[in-house]
């Protein structure tokens, strides 16, 4: 069986309010902390949905759109950069699992 890459995997996830382009992010990340004092920038590899990415200059960026609300980053970040919340049902994104 062929392994799926992350884009293919996330393509199988049903997100809420997918038609809305202007959503309210449920997680706020102070990337200034990631990009100044954080020694590991671990969210860029422990997030199962790759919401945290690192560019060529080693700078951390965050986008909430693919978030599957698993909570990993809330524990993994020990630098106080992640302000985690659940998405708002009306104006947030987040998941609706088909199987769960």
Partner 1 sequence: MDEKFDCIIVGAGIAGLAAAMTLARNNMKFLLIEKGEFAGSKNVSGGVLWGSDLAKLVPEYWKEEDGGWERFINHRRLTFMDDQSTFSIDFKSSHFNETPYSGVVVLRSKFDRWLAGKVQDAIDESDYAMESFIATNIKVDEILMEDDKAVGIRTGEEEFHADSVIISEGVNNLLTRQVGLQDDYVPADHMLTGIKEVIRYDQKVLEDRFQLNGLSGMSNEFVGFATDGVEGGGFLYTNRDTISLGLVAGIKDMREKEKSPHDLLNTFKAHPVIQDTIQGGEVVEYSAHVVSSGDKRAMPKEVYKDGVLLCGESANLLMNAGKAIQGMDYAMRSGILGAETIIKAKERDDFTSNTLSEYKQALEDSYVMKDINSFQDAVHMLHNPTMYQDVPNLICDFGRKFFTIDSKPTKKSREMMKESIKEHSSYWDLMKIGFKGAKSL
Q: Which of 16, 20, 22 is nearest to 87 (CA)?
A: 16
**How far is the C-alpha of 9 from the C-alpha of 90, rounded, in Å?**
25
Residue with the two structure tokens 């599957």: 68
Count of residues interacting with partner 1 (CB under 8 A) = 40
C-beta of 4 vs 59, nearer to partner 1: 4
**How far is the C-alpha of 92 from the C-alpha of 26, rounded, in Å?**
7
Site for partner 1 in 70-99 (CB under 8 A): 70-72, 74-76, 78, 80, 84-90, 94-99
**What are the residues facing 60 on neighbouring strands?**
54
- Least distance between partner 1 and beta carbon 68 (Å): 6
Which of the stretches 27-35, 47-55, 58-66 binds partner 1 when contact is defined by CB under 8 A?
A: 47-55
By CB under 8 A, residue 54 contacts partner 1: no
**How far is the C-alpha of 61 from the C-alpha of 70, rounded, in Å?**
19
Q: Which residues bind partner 1 (CB under 8 A)?
A: 1, 3-4, 6, 9-10, 12-13, 16, 40, 42, 45-46, 48-50, 68-72, 74-76, 78, 80, 84-90, 94-100
């Amino acid at each position: 069986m062929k392994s799926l890459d992350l884009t293919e995997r996330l393509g199988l996830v049903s997100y809420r309010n997918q038609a809305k382009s202007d959503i309210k992010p449920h997680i706020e990340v102070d990337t200034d902390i990631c990009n100044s004092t954080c020694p590991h920038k671990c969210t860029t590899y422990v997030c199962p949905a790759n919401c945290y990415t690192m560019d060529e200059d080693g700078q951390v960026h965050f986008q909430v759109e693919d978030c599957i609300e698993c909570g990993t980053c809330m524990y993994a970040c020990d630098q106080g950069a992640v302000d985690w919340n659940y998405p708002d049902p009306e104006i947030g994104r987040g998941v609706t699992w088909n199987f769960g």
